[in-house]
Amino acid sequence: MELGTSGRGPRLTLPAPFGLADMPALLDRAERLLQEGHDTPLECDVADMREPDLATVEALARIELTATRMGGGICLRGASVELLELLAFCGLPMELLVEAEGQAEEREEAGGVEEEGDPTDPVA
């Protein structure tokens, strides 16, 4: 688990695989970063979370609760579509940190995402 600060603010990298046994150490590290007095949200790097599960959701919910109690917040870096869907399903919308990695045309669209059509538009 990486612990440190980036140019923008404090950053915490969640380990993969992650288990509930990792929770106390993760929360201690998150609290230490939040206590450093940064005015920016805690960046939670979740890019390595290939198969997110409810332990991942619980960890992020607890980190968010800790940050909120300390007057801050968190944002996610590198969140997969699967993690975002799981968080939304559990009712935990999180702020995302999106970095420009190329032109919009070059980025791959998330699988299973379809644009909703307007029923008044003619069929093409």
Q: pLDDT tens across 2-26, in order?
A: 344 445 678 999 988 888 888 999 9
Token pair in block for residue 40: 């920016």
Helix, strand, coil in percent for the chain, rounding step 5: 35, 15, 50
Residue 61 has pLDDT above 60, yes or no: yes
- 3-class DSSP state of 96: strand
Homologous superfamily assigned to 3-100: STAS domain (3.30.750.24)
- Distance between CA atoms of residues 15 and 13, nearest Å: 6
Q: H-helix or E-strand containing 77?
A: strand 74-77
Predicted TM-score (pTM) of the model is 0.69
